[in-house]
Structure 1
Amino acid sequence: MSEIIKNLSGHGVSVWLDDISRERLRTGNLETLIREKGVVGVTSNPTIFASALSKGDAYTPQLHDLSIRGVDVEEAVRAITTYDIRWAADVLRPVYDATGGVDGRVSLEVDPRLARETDKTIAEARALWWMVDRPNLMIKIPATVEGLAAITQALAEGISVNVTLIFSLERYRAVMDAWLAGLEQAKAAGLDLSSIESVASFFVSRVDTEIDKRLDKIGSPEAAALKGKAAVANAQLAYAAFEEVMNSPRWQALRDAGARPQRPLWASTGTKDPSYPDTLYVDELVAPGTVNTMPEKTLDAVADHGKITGDTVRGSYERAWNSMAALKEIGIDYDDVVRALEEEGVEKFEASWNELLATVTAELRKA
């Protein structure tokens, strides 16, 4: 295994792969990444599945059977995606067992078209949890306002949750409140809190993409000097908020009852701007008790030349606040940025889901 990845893991960062495909599973590539690149978890999203279905013939036999059975397209998509997730969960089961259920996790997202519908999101989360039927599954629920109650309800029923599409500090605090409420309800119902795992996926690179675009429009030297600073600062301040909750009496009571922290997960960690170091959002976000889910390109870059120098988060809060203050002073509206990013994130995943439906529809007709 890469010594750099060992070093990263040694500083408390769990390395997850932000990708899944039937081809990756049937060739044994996932096992190789676990063994050689220190991967201890997998995340998926509608875009990843849409891409996987559009390449190769790995899904052809299942699509043929689904076509013969006359399964409608939405159930076909559930059958295809849950098949891959079960397989990945089984591959990662030894990691799950070795880490006491902390890692070895595989995430599957609810239909993103339900992001603004609480009851339907809850119903879909229950259905996917039942269909996959693996203890190391996590159901991904977006951190929209409507998603917060769904997060609480899923956790209250013992469903492990990966909260996705978090961009703002305010929304992240609301997510942690929803998580605590879910655990409190699970405790009241007599559930085993130690079996309920959660991560909060705080998106990183998209923040720089949006803010850098706005800084370019401002066009001043002061604006140029602030490019590439917002995303890391935003994530570092999210960790500060996480630490506040970890020191709260509310959390201490749940911890004493066997609950485990909702770890911050750094998502969207591949750099979009080629002028930035390709390991930027890994090197600058090293902190204990976190997850970094990376596309394979970023994982390979980190294993090859990542610069892991220890904790780069907990000593950075003042600098991060200063960066955010400077952005505000120059005219960047943070609230507008994160609102736009959430809307764009939901729209992108809806588009990918519709692409996935169209691809499966076409394949079912061919089969």
Structure 2
Amino acid sequence: MTDTSVLDPLGALSAAGVSIWLDDLSRELLASGRLAELVADRHVVGVTTNPTIFASAVAEGDRYTEQLSLLFDAGVSVDDAIFAITTADVRAGCQTLRDVHDATGGVDGRVSIEVDPRLAQDTAATVDQARVLWEGVNHPNLFIKIPATRAGLPAITTAISEGISVNVTLIFALDRYREVMDAYLTGLEHAAAAGLDLSAIHSVASFFVSRVDTEIDARLTAIGTPDALAAKGKAAVANARLAYQAYEEVIAQPRWARLASAGAHAQRPLWASTGVKDPAYPDTMYVTELIAPGTVNTMPGATLAAFADHGRVTEDAVRGGYRAARAHLHTLDQLGIDYQDVTETLEREGLAKFEKSWDELSRTVNRELHAASR
């Protein structure tokens, strides 16, 4: 451990090759200059958003009142109001992070906005909204979030083939992650065939972490044996480490080498849902245990603050753990944990949570629209 890692843990994390993104965006964060401060002082180089984050932002304070009043007077629908509010914030976020984007050659300085999750099982509708969001924000450092459902895979390919940069979200299973990487490479191949500049296309693959432990820990607790209880709190990190191994395997293939030689960028693994759900675990666990070069860790504000305060950077936290990770998944199988059922459950519940969040955002915007009109 170096002195730098003690004095500036986030700086040491960044130096280890991890891009630090904030899982939060609001008009208050933007207008107060707090996001700019995090970029300048906390090594934040990207932002992710979701409907729950926007719902909370709209419900708090009065930063949105003027825009909401204008939208109400214009008689727009709730969906159109959501589009106007969220794209305005994301556009401003892109502007705040534009210098980072330019300094990193487009790799970082990214802001993500999500396709309506109600479209997750509709490929064509997902692609259509990805296009509308891409054109509506109209900044090169935008990412369009598309869920890694069966219907989402061809949507990812189509979006990438058209030069739309994508943040693939809601990945739990290793097999699905491999399909996501294939969808990205296929999109790049189509883009190359169409004569697009591959160097302008970027992507990350958001592998969800803490929810894996939440689901598997509950099943281990139900089993209740000493061996089962001893296995708690390890599955999420093991799963993510094996995802990074799969990523390394893909970028070692001739298929990727051909695309890279044409200017393509690798689709970086992104660790999402890195806030610890179980207070028995260290609050920086899903950062410390998943340090690897060429990755992104998108943290809620509390996790970012915790790592800034007492985070520790260890060398090769991921690549040295492949064998142990595989052994742990085998142990879970021996204990009766059905990995496929776990990941299918998590995807199904994740989509339901996304839709619930969208409904929450719709109710909030509808309420605030009418409140702003008074």
Give the shorter-chain TM-score range.
over 0.9
Q: Which moved more, 1:353-362 or 1:98-107?
A: 353-362
SS in 1 for 2:126: helix
- Equivalent residue of 2:214, what SS? helix
- Of residues 308, 311, 319 in structure 2, which corresponds to 1:306? 311
Alignment of 1:126-141 (within 5 A): 126-141=131-146
User: What displacement does 1:44 show?
Assistant: 0.5
Matched residue, 1:206: 211
Q: String of CA shifts for 1:61-111, please: whole Å, max 9, x gaps.
A: 100000011111101100000000000000000000110100000000000
The offset of 1:59, in angstroms, is: 0.8
Distance 1:105 1:338 in 2: 28
2:123 alignment partner in structure 1: 118
**Aligned twin of 2:355:** 350
1:364 to 343, 363, 369: 369
Determine whether 1:45 maps to 2:53.
Answer: no
Supply the AA of the counterpart residue of 1:144: T
Question: 1:327 Cα shift?
Answer: 0.4
Match of 1:180 in 2: 185
Post-superposition offset of 1:230: 0.1
Are residues 1:160 and 2:165 paired?
yes
Residues 238-292 of structure 1: per-residue CA shift (max 9 Å, x gap): 0000000000111010000000100000000000000000000000000010000
Is 1:33 the counterpart of 2:41? The answer is no
Moved beyond 6 Å, runs of 4+: none
Q: Is the aligned partner of 1:315 residue 2:320?
A: yes
Task: Say if 2:296 is the partner of 1:296.
Answer: no
Contact 2:55–2:365 under 8 Å retained in 1: no
Structure 1 unmatched runs, 5+ = none
Partner amino acid for 1:214? R
2:332 to 319, 327, 333: 327
User: Displacement of 1:360 after TM fit?
Assistant: 1.1
Give the alignment's Cα RMSD to 1 decimal. Answer: 0.8
Give the equivalent residue in structure 2 for 1:258: 263
SS class of match (1:145): coil
SS in 1 for 2:320: coil
Cα distance between partner residues in 2 of 1:300 and 1:35: 15
Query: Residue in 2 aligned with 1:12?
Result: 17
- Helix, strand or coil for the counterpart of 2:63? coil
- Cα contact 2:148–2:170 (8 A) shared by 1: yes
Q: Determine helix, strand or coil for the equivalent of 1:40.
A: strand
Find 2:286's aligned residue among 266, 281, 288. 281
Structure 1: distance between partners of 2:227 and 2:28? 47
Q: Quote the Cα distance in structure 2 between the aligned partners of 1:9 and 1:235.
A: 19
Structure 1 counterpart SS, 2:275: coil
Alignment of structure 1 residues 90-109 onto 2, 5 Å: 90-109=95-114
1:83 aligned counterpart, secondary structure = helix
Q: One-letter code of the match for 1:360?
A: V
Counterparts of 1:51-70 in structure 2, within 5 Å, are: 51-70=56-75
Provide the identity percentage: 63
Please state if 1:143 is matched with 2:148: yes
5+ residue gaps, structure 2: none
Between 55-64 and 237-246, report the one with greater CA deviation: 55-64
Instruction: Give the corresponding residue for 2:227.
Output: 222
TM-score (norm 2): 0.97
Query: Corresponding residue for 2:277?
Result: 272
Structure 2 distance, partners of 1:362, 1:13, is 40
Q: Which amino acid aligns with 2:8?
A: E
> For 1:4 and 1:256, how far apart are their aligned partners in 2?
35
Q: Deviations over 1:141-163 (max 9, x none)?
A: 00000000000000000000000
Residue type at the aligned position of 1:129:
W
How many aligned residue pairs are there? 367
Give the alignment of 1:238-253 within 5 angstroms: 238-253=243-258
State the AA in 1 paired with 2:60. K
TM-score scaled by length of structure 1? 0.99
Task: Return the match for 2:346 from 333, 341, 348.
Answer: 341
